[in-house]
Each structure stands twice: as C-alpha cells, then as structure tokens.
A and B are shown apart, each in its own frame.
Chain A
Amino acid sequence: MEDQLVIGGRALDSRLFVGTGKYSSDALIPEVLEKSGAQVITVALRRIDFESETDNVLQYIPKDVQLLPNTSGARNAQEAVRIARLARAAGCGNWIKIEVISDNKYLLPDGYETIKATETLASEGFVVLPYISPDLMVAKSLVEAGAAAVMPLGAPIGTNRGLKTKELIRILIDEIPLPIVVDAGIGKPSDACQAMEMGAAACLLNTAIASANAPILMAEAFGRAVKAGRQAYLAGPGAAEAYAQASSPLTGFLEAMNDE
C-alpha cells in the first residue's frame, strides 16, 4: 500500500526525521540514515562549516536525503529570517525549520516570533516547518501564514521525556489541516510509536538517537517504531474498553421485542 507523506511537493516514504547535533562524530550520520530509513535530516546552519574540508557536516549527508536546515540560535523572527536566507544562499535548499528561542533555561519556542518568521519566509518561497509548543491558536495562525507542516514538541527539547504534551498534540492532529510532525522530547521508540498511532504525520528526533549508547542500533529501532505506529494508525485500532462488554446488554430487550 502506498502511504507517502507529501511536504513541499516532495513525497517521502519514511516518516522519521532525524538530526545532526550531539554525535560523537558526524561520520555516524550516514549509517544513522541508512539504518533508520530517514529521508529528512535537520542541520543547524550555525554548525555548518562550509569552508572546512574535514569538518563540514554536509559531506556526510547523501544527496537524496532532504536537507532541513534549522534556525537554531535565532532569538526573534528577524534573526530566523536572516538565517533562513543565508542557508538558501549557501545552497542548502528551500526547506527551513523555524526555531525561535528566546528562553535559554527551558529552550521553549517563541510562538509569536515563529508566526512572523513563517509568514515572511513562506512568502519568499520557502517550505516552512515551524517548531512550536503545541498551542492550537499558534498552529492555526501558522496555517494562515503559509507553513508546510506544524511541528509541536512532545516535551522540552533534549529531555528525552516522551509525549508529555500528548493531549494537546491530539487536538492539533484533529484540527490542523497540515501534517503534524512531533518534534522534540521523544526519548524512546515507544514514544515515537505512540505519536504515530495517534495520527502524527511524522516524528523528528535527535537526542534520543545521538545520546544512546549505541546510536546506530537506536536509529534502527526508531525507524521500525515509526513504521509500526503508522501501520497501526492506518489499520485503525479497535476502541479500548475500560470494562469487559456485558453479555446481557441493557438494550438487548429491544432486539427481542423487534423479533416478536
């Protein structure tokens, strides 16, 4: 069965997006991509050393993988827009993950500035994937602003704490007519699986793989978990029941009366 995720005109077979930060060596990246099956990878423009022959992260990213530069370090819309333009001018393509953070304690995103940056960049032809706290009104504004997807956090970034914001993400999935990509907080494959079962379009994660004792093995586990979660969503699980079904239901008499 064909089940592709289409963002910015590109059809993706894999619904796992991965990151590039925090690895002990960027040389791990090709194998992470291969074992996880991920086709989208995010990279902070601030980290790309375009002039380096030995330490340029881009040299480890295969050409067929979709590059998703991000605006890490931006403290407001203006800085995010500048970073995005620099990324495109440097040949990193027109996808951009907007990350505007003015809170260095919890690293929570700034919704208002994110909306402003999205508006500007979408009008300049970028495929914009904004990272937000799961706030319905912010998400709706992003739809208006021209976002290509909405990426709510499952828990504060880098915490590996799992889907703490599950109920809010569920509302976004129900109400927002764009792909919902759960980004940040996912710590275990079971978290990713759960997000996909709920109907998330994809999951983006980095710390959970990069900080694992065996990153490659963890990458593979996440690839499978995301796939399993997606399949379960498509299969439509039966409703969970709190109690066993009564064998003599209260309305059973209606059937008996109709038969008479």
Chain B
Amino acid sequence: MSFYDEYLVYKDFNFNRFFEGITDDRIRAVIRKGKLTARDFLTLLSPMAEKHLEEMAQQAHKVTVQHFGKTILLYTPMYLSNYCTNRCLYCGFNTANEILRKQLTLEEVETEAKAIAETGLRHILILTGDARNMASPDYIEDCVKVLTQYFTSVSIEVYAMEQEEYARLIQAGVDALTIYQETYNEGLYDKVHLRGPKKDYRYRLDAPERACKAAMRSVNIGALLGLDEWRKEAFFTGLHANYLQDRYTDTEISISLPRLRPHEGSFQPKDIANDTHMVQMMVAFRLFMPRAGITISTREHARFRDNVMRLGVTKMSAGSTTVVGGHTQQEKHTGQFEISDERNVVQMREAILGLGYQPVFKDWQTL
C-alpha cells in the first residue's frame, strides 16, 4: 500500500464536473460538520466555496484556538549546501544554473548555530540540495550532532531517503522531516524535473511514509503552489496528509503552503494562487484536519503572514535566509529563492505579541 494507490483513484477525476454540482447548502452543511470526508474537503476547495470564505475562516479560527491556543511556533531554516544534481525548472539550485556552490564545514555549521541560537530560536530546519556525493547522509548526521548542542528540535529538508537513513538521522537527534512533493500531477512532475534522482515521482511520493515507518516524530508535506492548478494540489496534499495520519498515528503530520517565488532561472508559474486562494486552502485544510499543523514561511510577505495568523497557521519561520551560510557569512551566495518577509526574530516576536498571540520558541526537547 502506498499513497500512490489513493492518488490513482483521483488522478483522472473530473474536478470541474464535481465543482459544478456543488450548492451553497452543501457548503454550509460541510462547514458545520464534525468530521469531513475527502469529498467534503474538495467541496470547501471549490470555486463556489469562495463565497463562504468568512464562515469557513470563523470556524477554522475557532478550531485552531481550541487545539493549539493562540500560539505560533517559530523556527528558521539553515542551508547547509546548495550543491545539486537535479534539473528542476522551478528551483534556483538547478544544476544548470551557474551560481556559486558551497557546502558548510562543521565549524561553519557551529558558527551559524551559535548565531541563530543567540536570537532565542530553539527549532532549526536544515536544508541541502540533492547531491548525495557532497551532502551525504554521513555529512548530514555530523551536522545534526553539532546542532543538537544548540537546538532542542532539529528538522531536515533534504533529498528523499531510505527508511534506514531516516532511522539513522533520528538516532542522531532529528525529530522532524519536511519534504514537498512539489506537484502531485505525475505527468507534470516528469516535465518539470528534467534530470536527476528527483525525477522518480514514486520514490519522492513515498518518502514521507518511509520517514513515518522510521518513527519520525513529525512529518511535514506540501506542494509547490504554482506548478499545477492549486485546487488539485491542495486536495492531494490534504489527502496525502490524511493518509499518513490514519496509518501512522504516532507521527504528527502537518502541511506547508509554499507559494512559488522568483528565483534564479526563467521558469514562470502556471497557476498562481492569489491571497484569497491561499486563505481558502488554509481554512479548508484546517476543517479537514483539525489537529494538524500548518506552516507559512517567509516566502509570504509580512502583511499577509500577520493576517493569516488567526486562520489556522501554527508555525512560521523568522529571520530567514535561503543562502548557504547566510546567517553569519558576509559573502552572499545565490539563495534558493527570494524571501518576502525579512523581519528578524525580535521583530517577528513583537509582531506576534502585538496580534495577541504567543510566540513559542520551544516545543520539543531532544530526548
């Protein structure tokens, strides 16, 4: 069994016909329901549901406060390496892009760690490109061992791995995995991933499940919004999250809603979700999976981030840079993409407090 089997059920589904059959009454009934089915979730993602956005948002706010309180967990990404063997059309690290490549030494990792820890952050997300011969599992493990001395939670966002490799990293102190399918559309996936190990759709799709099997504490998935139609991507992301949570109840499943940002290279997004659509996805997902976390990164601008805090978001990045060594080094390499919210940790903390929410710096303790 794999999520792929569920994907196949909806792969050729006529979404438009389904959307045409939706009525206002149906939407109202779904909003008031306790437990939503996959079709209910899709109903809330329909064009028709946009009219009911406020009602959905009110409900999403209520459910989020009930389960998470008025809190926002803060973290920051640390890029370890931008070497990459893939050619992904939408990514700045694409091997065809002539950018300066760099990989941090363990000493540099420690320098970055110190600087970040001084800002008060206790949760770190480490990232690499897809270059096993450079940023190998061994290298990542060594980095994790350095980082657990400075942080109480270490997440990874790296190339898709084997279950045993995830297990090894968990042993070293990793407690969370982020891995995006980028697009659930199998045909499109093949077109935007020109070359490299990432071209294998199924291997990528099953990676979060392999991490769950390795007993990863939390697994965060998502689709890169802008590659395919957002309603479909949001639907498959939710289905995937639900699939994992049903089977791996001791792993916390969460989602991110990353919107494609300008980057090195010339790829143009196909279907940009506007702010209203982003909110619709967020609140629909919250009603579908009331206890699952939702992350909004600094891909989004400050004003948008401040306003969606009340709509279901539970986790945000702060003081971000997508540049390798970007937290301490003067020499600026090319980042993976441009960030939109450049507020540092102090400013984010103040902003969250100002909105009547509590910024949470620590929500795990490495055991």
Residue in A22, A25, A83, A105 whose beta carbon sits within 8 Å of that of B291 in the complex: A105
A75 to B251 CA separation, bound complex (whole angstroms)? 9
Closest Cβ of chain A to B69, distance in Å, is: 2
Counting CB contacts under 8 A, is B8 at the interface? Answer: no
A168 to B252 CA separation, bound complex (whole angstroms)? 29
Contact between A48 and B362, CB atoms less than 8 A apart = yes
Residue in B69, B249, B353, B367 whose beta carbon sits within 8 Å of that of A21 in the complex: B69
Counting CB contacts under 8 A, is A31 at the interface? Answer: no
Give the residue name and chain of the A residue nearest to B67 (CB). Answer: A158
Contact between A158 and B66, CB atoms less than 8 A apart = yes
Contact between A83 and B70, CB atoms less than 8 A apart = no
A14 to B357 CA separation, bound complex (whole angstroms)? 29
By DSSP majority rule, is chain B's interface helix, strand, loop, or mixed? loop
Annotate B323-338 by CB proximity to A: 1 below 8 A, 0 otherwise: 0000000000000000
Give the A interface residue count (CB, 8 A): 31
Counting CB contacts under 8 A, is B365 at the interface? Answer: yes
Contact between B67 and A75, CB atoms less than 8 A apart = no
Residue in B70, B122, B364 whose beta carbon sits within 8 Å of that of A73 in the complex: B364
A83 to B152 CA separation, bound complex (whole angstroms)? 13
Contact between B250 and A24, CB atoms less than 8 A apart = no
Counting CB contacts under 8 A, is A248 at the interface? Answer: no
A82 to B291 CA separation, bound complex (whole angstroms)? 25
Counting CB contacts under 8 A, is B359 at the interface? Answer: yes
Give the B interface residue count (CB, 8 A): 31
B interface with A by C-beta (< 8 Å): 65-71, 120, 122, 152, 217, 245-246, 249-253, 291, 353, 356-365, 367
A41 to B365 CA separation, bound complex (whole angstroms)? 20
A interface with B by C-beta (< 8 Å): 21-26, 45-49, 52, 54-55, 73, 75, 79, 82-83, 86, 102-105, 107, 158-160, 207, 210-211
Residue in B67, B120, B252, B356 whose beta carbon sits within 8 Å of that of A24 in the complex: B356
A21 to B360 CA separation, bound complex (whole angstroms)? 10
A75 to B170 CA separation, bound complex (whole angstroms)? 15
Residue in B67, B217, B251, B356 whose Cβ sees the most chain A Cβ within 10 Å: B67
Give the residue name and chain of the A residue nearest to B357 (CB). Answer: A24
| Chain A residues, Cβ within 8 Å of B122 | 49
Give the residue name and chain of the B residue nearest to A50 (CB). Answer: B362
Contact between B367 and A83, CB atoms less than 8 A apart = yes
Can you list 13 pairs linking A and B with CB atoms under 8 Å apart?
Answer: A22-B68, A22-B70, A23-B69, A46-B363, A47-B360, A49-B120, A52-B120, A73-B365, A82-B367, A102-B249, A104-B291, A105-B249, A207-B69
| Chain B residues, Cβ within 8 Å of A105 | 245-246, 249, 291
A208 to B253 CA separation, bound complex (whole angstroms)? 25
| Chain A residues, Cβ within 8 Å of B365 | 45-46, 73, 83, 86
| Chain B residues, Cβ within 8 Å of A24 | 69-71, 356-358
